Structure formats: C-alpha cells, structure tokens
Chain A
Amino acid sequence: MLKDITIGQFFPGSSAVHKMDARVKLVLTIVFIVMLFSAKGMAGLCVCIAFTLLIFAISRIPPAMMLKSLKPIAPLVLITALLNIFFVKDGDKLFEWKFILITDKGIDTAVFMVVRIICLIVGSSLLTYTTSPIDITDAIERLLGPLKRVKFPVHELAMIMTIALRFIPTLIEETDKIISAQKARGSELDTGTLTEKVKGMLPIFIPLFASSFRRADELAVAMECRCYHGGEGRTRMKQMKAGRRDVFGCIFTAVFFAAVIAVNILTK
C-alpha cells in the first residue's frame, strides 16, 4: 500500500505548461510571487487571480487538485483571517462587544490577505504539479550553476536531492517491513499513552537508521564503480532547451505583471 505513493505532487500531462522548460517555470513562479506582493489593492489582486486561473486551465490540472493543495495551509489561512478581523482597529466600527472590535477595514484586509495566500499557494503548486521533481532538481542545479564559481556546492546539493527522492519509496517500504517485524515480535505500536507511543517508535527508527547507513555505504561504492567523481567534467543526457513556448510564457507573464502595475497606478 505504502509502495504506491507518488513522490512530490507531480501530475503528468502534455499541456503547454508541462512542456515548458523547468528553469523558465521556476523563474516565472518567482516572478509570479513578486507580482502577487506588488498588487496593492483588490483590483490588482483580481488580475493575479485571473492569471492563476488561466494557467490552471491551460495546464489541464483537474480543479480538485487546486483545493487539495490548499488543504494543508487551511489553518494558516484561518489564523490570518481571524488575526486581521480582530486586530485591525482603524476604519469604521461594524461590531463592538466588550473587548471585541470589528471594523470594515479589518474585514477588507482579512479578505485581501486570505485571497493573496490562496493565490500564492495555488499558483506555486502549479510548478510542482506540472514539473517532475527530477526536472525541478535539474533546473535548480542549472540556475544556480554560476554560484559554482564562488565554490557553492551546487552539484552536490542537486545530487543529494536526487538521491533523497530516489530513496524515499525504498525507505518507506523498509519502514513498513520493520513495523511488521516489530509487531510480529509483540510490540504495541498504536496503543497506550503518548509517551508510550513515542517510545514505541524507537524500535522502528533504530533499525531504519542502521539500514540507511548501510545503504548509503553500498550506494557510495556502487557510484564509485560507475566512475562518479563529483560534478567536474560531467555531462547530462537530457539537455534543457528553452524554445518558442518559453518565450511565449515569459511574454504572457510580463503582460499580466504590467497589468498589475497599471492597475496599481490607476487605483491609487
């Protein structure tokens, strides 16, 4: 059962967004975040919403996925909303009872903040939906490439990420086996108080760590056998090439960014 997990939240497809160069997508995602935070009012934010929805439509990711990406941050959204509603004190009074004071400005800010967070999450999760973890890792390695000159271990970081991604399913499978083995020896993992439960995890983590070290050792030897000697002089089978599609994507984003700035100026 655990074996069938998907790593990350990649949603394979063949849309224009999927086919874009991962490096371009990564940069555009950062541009999108800047765009979101430069929108000064609701009108500017509406442009951002339109942009997000449009990309979502083009990428043909099922709309349900949009909600799924929001689930883990629901508490954050709620807290943001409540804080803004209760703690913004200026503006016209709408409701007052003892120490609780709600103003129209408070409501406005709350809505603005909530919409911005939702937009941020939905927009940036599009990157992970349409790009495989491997491509993202590759893109990061290539984008950070110039940092190699100042001795920043770019290749090593990317290699660590790749190996981590590769071993997640293996280690999950192993955890599964260890849990079964410990259960067969009569350990009670899901009963008792919280401290007992935490203590019960120990016989799972220790073998897991021990076997991870053994695996790491074997993997290192296997990598040496395949002539691994760091990032120096390494080539890549898959070459990343930005094409017409990527230029179009950049123009598309630039147009929306310009629109946000225009709206900012007009509604000042």
Chain B
Amino acid sequence: MDNFIQAKDLKFSFTDNYSEKPVKNEVLKNISLNIERGSFVALLGHNGSGKSTLAKCFNAIYLPEGGKVYVNGMDTAEEKNLMDIRRSAGMVFQDPDNQIVATIVEEDVAFALENLGVEPAEIRRRVDDSLKTVGMYEYRMHAPHRLSGGQKQRVAIAGILAMQPECILLDEPTAMLDPQGRREVMETIKKLNRENGVTIVLITHYMDEAAQADRVVVIDDGEIILDSAPKQVFSQVQTMKNLGLDVPQATELAYRLSKAGYDMPADILYEDECVQAIARLLKG
C-alpha cells in the first residue's frame, strides 16, 4: 500500500522569546513516520509530547526545521504546494467554536470551497453532500451558536469534507464534548474512514477512541515510543502507565485481574471481549 503522508527525520522546535535568554525547545526529534492511504491512525501522548505539532506539520501549518514531510508526494516546504496540501489533508481542531467562520451552517461549510475558487453550482452540490454525510443537512440554515457541541464539531468536519480531502487530521476533536457528542463525532469519523476511504489521523486523550483505530502511535517528548496495532500497544500496560497514559477501561480491568493472579488474556481492548473473558474465568 502506498503512503499518503511520509515524514523523514522530521525536526521541529519552538523558541521561547519571552524569557531573558531565548530558549530553544525541541518539540519533535527525528520523527520518521509513514501513514498509509485509507488507514485510521490514532496519535497518543500526554500534553506537550509534540503530537499536535506533528499533526500541524502534516498540513504545512508548521514547516520542518530538519528532515522532510511529504503529503501525497508533495513536499510541504515548497510554497507552490501549499493550497494542494491543505486541500488534500484537512484539519479539525478541539474547540468547534474557534473554527466556524460564518453565521449560517451552510455558509461555513462553503468557506473552504469559496477560498479555493470553486464554481458556485459545484459549491452548492458539495456543501449539500458533506452536510448529508455528517448528518447535519436539516440544520443547514441554522446559526452555529445554537447547535450542541457535537453538532458544531460535525459542521466543522463537513467544512473540511467539502474540500474532498484524502486525509483528515483531527486534533482532539472530542475533548470539549459531552458523551453524546463524542459518540456522534466518533461515528462520523469511522464512517468517513470505512465508507469514503478517507485517511484519518486522530489525536485523542480517550483510549477507548484510540482502540477503534487500525494503528496506534505513541509519542513522548518528541519521539515515537510505540507504533503498532491497538492490541499490541495497549497490552503493554506498564509502559503506557510509565508514559503517563491510560489504557482502555476493559484493558485496565483485565490487567488488574491478571496481576491479582487470575488468568486473563493481555490483549483485551473492548468491553465485550472483557465480559467474555471474565465469563470464561467464572465458569472455569
């Protein structure tokens, strides 16, 4: 399978200009990562680990200081690729309020297409399609501030989707939502990945969400620590805990049971797996 995003020896740092001596803070240290077309990758790491910065390098918001990032074969460092890169790798942020530009839902979804200079009739068609995909078509004439958090975030996703990107980067899209909103957004993301073949890079703090990805990449202090399928990553409960990260609740329960001497498999991710394992144990 070919790689949609390729990062080679990526380096990035922030300079703190406010302290007396400018301090260079290395955020990303030699990151090499390939993201396959059509995959669903979760990026994990505690605050300040560099995961958001990494995602912003993937659509040329930040440019690498060392190494290269290629998006769909295009070098992010080249100015002429900028619009094509941002069109093919859209990004959704944490606070839906801060990414909605217009005062009417459908106008907001049209924003990116208007920027790209798409024909009005084509904009109309794509706006309607994207709103239907995220299930917000009935709300197209509403004012964004009257929607719930989950609905707003789905509008934000529709705004990106309208560009027909091959990849969507989501930076903690569910962090500010209630459980209902989180469920709505996760369903939308999974649907886009499965049905529309959109490559997904999801940054999250919720391990249950990460467990739904095909691949989990754990970053700590600007370096990739673990990179594998969710089952392999989360079975290393102790490593995750040392990094200041949690594991899904079902995994945690299984881990504690096996520590207490019960015979539980180490690669439990989902509730139903956990239930079955415990049932087996009780019958046993």
Contact = CB atoms under 8 A, between A and B. Distances in A.
Interface in B69-111: 83, 86-87, 90-91, 93, 95, 97-104, 106-107, 110-111
B5 interface: no
Contacts of B103: 7, 133-134, 162, 165-166
Nearest to B109: A237
Contact of B61 (A221, A233, A234, A239): A221
A237 B120 CA distance: 5
Secondary structure of the B contact surface, majority rule: helix
Contacts of B143: 7, 169
Contacts of A234: 114-115, 117
A166 B93 CA distance: 18
A14 interface: no
A236 B102 contact: no
A218 B95 contact: yes
Interface residues of B, number: 41
A109 B98 CA distance: 53
B145 A3 contact: yes
A235 B118 contact: yes
B119 interface: yes
Nearest to B56: A221
A82 interface: no
A252 interface: no
B198 interface: no
Nearest to A8: B103
A229 B83 contact: yes
Contacts of B269: none
A222 interface: yes
Interface string A7-44: 10000000000000000000000000000000000000
A219 B114 contact: no
Given A219-B99, A235-B120, A227 B115 contact: yes
B119 A134 contact: no
Contacts of B145: 3, 169-170, 173
22 contacts: A3-B145, A133-B103, A134-B107, A166-B102, A169-B145, A170-B145, A215-B97, A222-B91, A222-B98, A226-B90, A226-B112, A226-B115, A226-B159, A227-B83, A227-B112, A228-B111, A229-B115, A235-B117, A235-B123, A236-B120, A237-B124, A237-B127
Interface of A: 3, 7, 133-134, 162-163, 165-166, 169-170, 173, 215, 218-219, 221-229, 233-239
